[in-house]
Amino acid sequence: MNAALNPSQLIASLEWRYATKLFDTRKLPDATWAALEESLRLSPSSYGLQPWKFFIIADPVVRAKLRPVSWNQSQVTDASHLVVFARRTEITEQDVNDFFNQMVSERGADATKLEPYRQMMIGGVVNGKDATGQKEWAARQLYIALGQLMGAAAALAVDTCALEGIDPAAYTEILGLKGSGFEVVVACAVGYRSTEDKYAAFKKIRFPASRVISRV
């Protein structure tokens, strides 16, 4: 498979990306959004367990309810798409088995040979973490997916803004997730920047590589 971007194009797309503060109301083309949605599904996670659900909030009424519990950030209502990232509230042996059985089926693998991996997942996540540890672990997996979405969007010249300035408990309640086995952690607005967003012209501020990268 040929790379879609060469190295200089990749860096240019990442330089172009910024935390968009003002979105216009243009909608993403269906094919573009479909690719970004698939990038979410393809996100990596520890063990491959995918302890998440991604809620695509299209209903303007729901988005209007979410805005006041998002510090009134306009991205919540104005961006083309709003993605809400929810983690599993508990990781069970059944979750491991569901993933394990799908892996065996789709890869045509020998389940007996893979059994040590199933046991490792159970020992590492199901039995090896308490309730708080499981939630913290699941939240870290969500941030991997968030990063993948933002990087994929930049490669397609689509703007994003990660939204941690939200009330996760209020989001969970508004979306009717109480008792569902999922709870909200973070959100991301996706769309096109407004020409009135002054932040688009700001120089990106990053520490030099000598400060943040070490070679061993």
Q: Which residue's structure tokens are 């959100």?
A: 187
What's the domain range around 82? Answer: 17-91+131-212
Q: What is the pLDDT of residue 3?
A: 65
Q: What is the pLDDT of residue 17?
A: 98
Using 50, 70 and 90 to split pLDDT, how confident is the model at 4? confident
pLDDT digits (tens, 9 = 90+) for 64-116: 999 999 999 999 999 999 999 999 999 999 999 999 999 999 999 999 999 99
Q: What is the pLDDT of residue 88?
A: 98
Q: What is the pLDDT of residue 1?
A: 67
Q: Name the nearest CA neighbour of 22 among 208, 178, 200, 205.
A: 200
Q: Are 145 and 40 in contact (CB under 8 A)?
A: yes
**Same domain membership, residue 197 and residue 112:** no
pLDDT digits (tens, 9 = 90+) for 135-179: 999 999 999 999 999 999 999 999 999 999 999 999 999 999 999
What spatial distance separates the first Cα and last Cα of the chain, rounded to whole Å? 31
Q: pLDDT at residue 214 above 90?
A: yes
**Same domain membership, residue 177 and residue 205:** yes
Q: Is residue 115 part of a domain?
A: yes
**Same domain membership, residue 184 and residue 108:** no
**Same domain membership, residue 162 and residue 136:** yes
Tell me how far apart the alpha carbons of residues 98 and 121 are, in angstroms, rounded to a whole number.
12
Q: Is residue 1 part of a domain?
A: no
**Same domain membership, residue 56 and residue 32:** yes
Domain count for the chain, please give it.
Answer: 2
The average confidence (pLDDT) of the chain is 97
